[in-house]
Amino acid sequence: MAVWMLIGIPIGIVLILLLIVMAAPGGSVLNSILFEFKEYERAVVFRFGKYNRIAQPGWNFILPIIESFVKYDMRTESIDIPPQQVITQDRVKVLIDAIMYLRVVDPAKAELEVEEDYRKAIEEHLKGRIRNVVGNTELEDVYGNIDKINSQLKNEIQKLTGGWGIEIIEVELISVIPPEAVLEAMEAQQIAQRYKEAAAEEAETTKIRINAIEAAAGKLSEPALNYLYLQTLKEVADGRASKIIFPMEFTKMAQKLSNGLGGKDSGINKLVEQIQK
């Protein structure tokens, strides 16, 4: 009798239940009073319709007729939010698909504090928050701040579900799809940006090359510069052009350089002759 008093059941009711169990077929007796819950499972037990206890993992006695239970899985689960159309702050219609990860941490609250299935309640609340957050953000900022938006949605949902015994693990916007025309405009903008970056990189490379040439030229003497210049002219003269006309000062400079070298460079001498002709 002391054992039954611990669970708060009058002895008369206990005797009636024992008679019912004894009258049942042998194979169904244990199945009607003894239930096994796995390590990741908990059960909210009600007695006479009132909350009584949380059944833990292992074997648990659930008295027939006067007790009932609702089983909860404590593992992380995912809720796929159906795609919905949202209008951004700059009046662009986008199709948003999202997913949420959560787990039950307090099965009693999850059962007692939510009128309907907690999954459906959280899904509807998240859909409303997505419309609110994205609706107050321009499209470009949505793409540029996905992680920030995900974190904001998670925190806002957690404020609600904390009192329901639910922990929000993660909220992710899987895709944000704008209309086809907007996609084409965004692609064209990206191509133009790539061309712009390539042009800027080429200009920077040219600038570095010019600076290097200027630095090297600053260390050369005037005769050396003249010599290099005339070498370039010789290459031009040896090309396909049939005739090249030079100003008079070029001729004088070539003659001076040739004399300064003592006529040792036959290529320069030939170039001088060509210039003088």
Q: Which structural domains are found in the chain, ordered by start?
A: 2-73 (no CATH), 77-178 (3.30.479.30), 222-276 (no CATH)
What's residue 158's pLDDT?
A: 94
Residue 254: band (very low, low, confident or very high) from pLDDT cuts 50, 70, 90 = low
Closest to 74 in 3D by CA, of 167, 184, 209 = 167
Mean pLDDT, residues 60-76 taken together: 91
Q: Give the whole-angstrom CA distance, residue 251 versus residue 232.
A: 14
Give 110-132 pLDDT, tens digit per residue.
Answer: 999 987 788 998 999 999 999 99
Q: Give the whole-angstrom CA distance, residue 65 versus residue 32.
A: 10
> What value does the CA radius of gyration of the chain take, rounded to a whole number of Å?
43
Mean pLDDT, residues 19-27 taken together: 57
What's residue 46's pLDDT?
A: 96
pLDDT surpasses 60 at 226: yes
pLDDT surpasses 50 at 4: no
117 Cβ contact partners less than 8 Å away, ≥ 6 residues apart: none
Give 28-53 pLDDT, tens digit per residue.
Answer: 555 678 899 999 999 999 999 999 99
Contact 119, 80 (CB under 8 A): no
Residue reference for tokens 């210039």: 275
Mean pLDDT, residues 89-94 taken together: 88
Q: Choose between 213 and 85: higher pLDDT.
A: 85
pLDDT surpasses 70 at 162: yes
pLDDT surpasses 90 at 178: no
